[in-house]
């Protein structure tokens, strides 16, 4: 394609994608629109911008606490999933295991588990263990759901590591911890980042379990806080828009900022196919 035509085509594609993201930008605009102008459309653009909605959300709503809860739970989930997943993925990728085929099948099948199927027993379990309305309960449940995918992804990445590197380490006399510390984890870094990112995202965005297992601000996560956003007479669209933006900020920043890792991780997986 000629240079000029290509540039025009590029611009068109970008324009199309900007239009695709319009729902997001509209919500962003709404969060800055004064209350009085919200329901009076057209005109689409407001006369002035205001921070009133953000102030209302930060000062009077439960969102700040929910943000802290979400952040803590997602971080702990990621750490726990990696702590369990890295050794597990290594075992799957490199070591002979009794009943490995069955194990793999079970792990793959677990990725397909519908949450609705396990929510009733887990509800009874959490009630018995008194883990409702705590971070631990939700972290455990999120981890159990993220673990199969974590292992599957990491196993794929581990297979990329040249076997010579591991053999060199064992020749050097490194035990299992040494092997992980000096060979596996460093070489796994980009795949690790992609997996950690996906796990964090999953935990942050998860709704069904969070809705069922959280009660109060002590453990309520962002999606639940947003779904239960209180209104009096009418729905406070502006406040909800501001809360939505705050809720999306971390995941959007992560995904957009680390998209290179994401794509690279997927490319590696795709090449392996």
Partner 1 sequence: MRSRAWFAPLGAFLVWLLMLGGCVGRPEGEPVTLVFKYARILGSADPLPGLLRAFETAHPGVRVKGEALPWTSDDQHQLYVINLEGRSPGFDVLMLDCIWVPEFARAGWLADLTTHLTPDELAPHFASAVTAGMYNGRVWALPWNMNVGLLYYRTDLLARYGLRPPETYEELIAAVKQIRDGERDPALEGYLWQGKQYEGLVVNVLEAFWANGTRLLGEDGTILPEPARAADALRFLRGLIEARLSPAWTTAADEELSRRAFGDGHAIFLRNWPYAMDLFQAAGSAVRGKVAFASLPGRARGAAGAGSTGGAHLAVSRRSRHPELAVALARHLTSRPAQRAIALGAALSPTRRDLYHDPELVQARPDMPRLDGLMLAGRPRPVTPAYLLVSSTVQPEFSAALVGVKSPERAIADARGRLNYFLEGIR
Partner 2 sequence: MTRREAVNRRRGILLMAPTVLALGTLTVYPGVWVVWLSLQHRHPIFGVSRFAGLDNYTFLAVDSRFSSAAVTTFVFTVTSVALEVVLGVTAALAIHAQQGGRRVALSLLLLAWAMPAVVTAKLFEWLYHPTAGLLNVALGGHALNWLGDPRLALPAVVLADVWRTMPFVAVLCYARLLAIPAELYEAAQVDGAGRLATLVRITLPMLGRILLVAILFRTLDALRAFDLMFVLTGGGPAGTTETITVYAYRALFQTLQLGFGSALGVVVFALVMAVAWAYLRLLRTSTVTA
Cα–Cα distance measured from residue 8 to residue 1, given in angstroms and rounded to the nearest whole number: 11
Which C-beta is closer to partner 2: that of 6 or that of 181?
6
Which C-beta is closer to partner 2: that of 232 or that of 270?
270
Residue 231 binds which of partner 2, partner 1, none (CB < 5-8 A, kind-dependent): partner 1
Residue 188 binds which of partner 1, partner 2, none (CB < 5-8 A, kind-dependent): none
Binding mask of the shown chain, residues 105 to 144, with x at each position contacting partner 1 by CB under 8 A: ------------------x--xx--xxxxxxx--x-----
Comparing C-alpha atoms, which of 205, 209, 247 is closest to residue 226?
Answer: 247
Which C-beta is closer to partner 1: that of 136 or that of 259?
136
Which C-beta is closer to partner 1: that of 83 or that of 108?
83
Comparing C-alpha atoms, which of 201, 192, 212 is closest to residue 265?
Answer: 192
Supply the minimum distance, in Å, between the C-beta of residue 218 and partner 2: 20
* 42-101: contacts with partner 1 (CB under 8 A): 69, 72-73, 75-76, 79
* 147-206: contacts with partner 1 (CB under 8 A): 177-178, 181-182
Supply the minimum distance, in Å, between the C-beta of residue 87 and partner 2: 4
Contact 156, 85 (CB under 8 A): no
Residue 15 binds which of partner 1, partner 2, none (CB < 5-8 A, kind-dependent): none
Supply the minimum distance, in Å, between the C-beta of residue 91 and partner 1: 21
**Alpha-carbon distance values, 184 to 153, 161, 168 (Å):** 14, 8, 12
Supply the minimum distance, in Å, between the C-beta of residue 9 and partner 1: 44
Examine residue 273 and tell whether it contacts partner 1 (CB under 8 A): no
Which residues are CB-contacts of 20 (< 8 A; sequence separation ≥ 6)?
none
Which C-beta is closer to partner 1: that of 125 or that of 268?
125
Supply the minimum distance, in Å, between the C-beta of residue 231 and partner 2: 12
Supply the minimum distance, in Å, between the C-beta of residue 137 and partner 1: 8
């Amino acid at each position: 394609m000629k240079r000029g035509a290509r540039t025009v085509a590029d611009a068109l594609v970008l324009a199309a994608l900007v239009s695709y993201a319009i729902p997001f930008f509209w919500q962003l605009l709404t969060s800055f629109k004064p209350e009085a102008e919200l329901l009076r459309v057209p005109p689409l653009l407001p006369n002035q911008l205001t921070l009133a909605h953000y102030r209302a959300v930060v000062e009077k709503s439960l969102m700040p606490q929910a943000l802290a809860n979400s952040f803590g739970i997602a971080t702990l989930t990621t750490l726990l999933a990696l702590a369990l997943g890295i050794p597990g993925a290594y075992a799957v990728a490199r070591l002979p295991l009794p009943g490995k085929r069955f194990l793999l099948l079970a792990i793959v099948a677990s990725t397909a588990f519908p949450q609705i199927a396990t929510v009733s027993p887990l509800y009874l379990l959490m009630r018995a263990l008194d883990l409702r309305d705590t971070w631990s309960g939700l972290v455990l449940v999120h981890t159990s759901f993220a673990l199969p995918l974590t292992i599957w992804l990491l196993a794929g990445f581990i297979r990329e590591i040249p076997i010579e590197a591991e053999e060199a380490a064992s020749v050097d006399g490194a035990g299992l911890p040494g092997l992980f510390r000096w060979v596996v984890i460093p070489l796994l870094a980009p795949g690790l980042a992609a997996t950690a990112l996906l796990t964090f995202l999953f935990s942050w965005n998860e709704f069904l379990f969070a809705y069922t297992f959280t009660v109060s601000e002590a453990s309520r996560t962002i999606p639940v806080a947003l779904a239960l956003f209180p209104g009096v007479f009418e729905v406070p669209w502006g406040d909800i828009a501001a809360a939505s933006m705050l809720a999306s900020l971390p995941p959007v920043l992560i995904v957009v900022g680390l998209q290179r890792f994401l794509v690279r991780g997927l490319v590696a997986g795709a090449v392996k196919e």
